[in-house]
Amino acid sequence: MIEADVKKWYVVRAVSGQENKIKNYIESEINRLGYSDFVEDILVPTEKVIQIRNGKKISKERVYFPGYIMVKANLSGEIPHIIRSITNVIGFLGETKGGEPVPLRKSEVNRMLGKVDELAIQSENVSIPFVLGETIKVIDGPFNGFNGTVEKINEEKRKLEVMVKIFGRKTPLELSYMQVEKI
């Protein structure tokens, strides 16, 4: 006997790149058909990625598990059929042909949801795009246009110590990640 309030996490396989669109379709379809009591949550796990383009910081959301959408629902009656019939939905993860969708184990859910929380926390830790000894170009400030060599990397302050040749003499400069680019 399955009650309407017993909900488990399932993974819906979807066409990669369409995750958010599909999430919205599922939500509106479930609401339109009056099944919103059966579906508690629909998640597209994403992580914040900070990219540097033309010297500007751009924060983008990147889908963490491309092609997968997490759905917390009670998949009884019509629900699995409704979800499967949505455009670009491939099916449920772990289901056998014609079989029932397989819910995620508690440990998997915690790991995936924990990952989502973890990603939200660590989003500021942009991976250090530079290595010691690397030649870079200064793109901002008074030394714009000069090339230099990375001597030190300060992760906490997000700064580099760069050795730049000015008038034939090597001069150390402290520059932020934003002021330099790879050559």
Residue 58's φ and ψ, nearest 5 degrees, are -125, 120
pLDDT at 173: 93
pLDDT band at 119, cuts 50/70/90?
Answer: low
User: Is 155 found in the same domain as 108?
Assistant: no
pLDDT at 45: 83
pLDDT at 68: 92
Report which of residues 7 and 111 the model is more confident about: 7
Q: What is the pLDDT of residues 24-80, one digit of tens each?
A: 999 999 999 999 999 999 999 887 777 777 778 888 888 888 899 999 999 888 899
pLDDT at 2: 44
pLDDT at 157: 81
CB count in 10 Å sphere of residue 10: 22
- Whole domain around residue 70: which residue ranges? 8-122
For residue 5, pLDDT over 70 is answered with: no
User: Is 159 found in the same domain as 99?
Assistant: no
pLDDT at 120: 56
Residue where a domain stops, chosen among 91, 122, 153: 122
> Is there a domain that residue 130 lies in?
no
CATH number at residue 54: 3.30.70.940
Average pLDDT score, the chain: 84
On whether the CB atoms of residues 65 and 45 are closer than 8 A, the answer is yes
CATH number at residue 148: 2.30.30.30
Report which of residues 77 and 117 the model is more confident about: 77
Beta carbons within 8 Å of 87's beta carbon, 6+ residues apart:
22, 25
Beta carbons within 8 Å of 58's beta carbon, 6+ residues apart:
50, 51, 52
Number of domains in the chain: 2
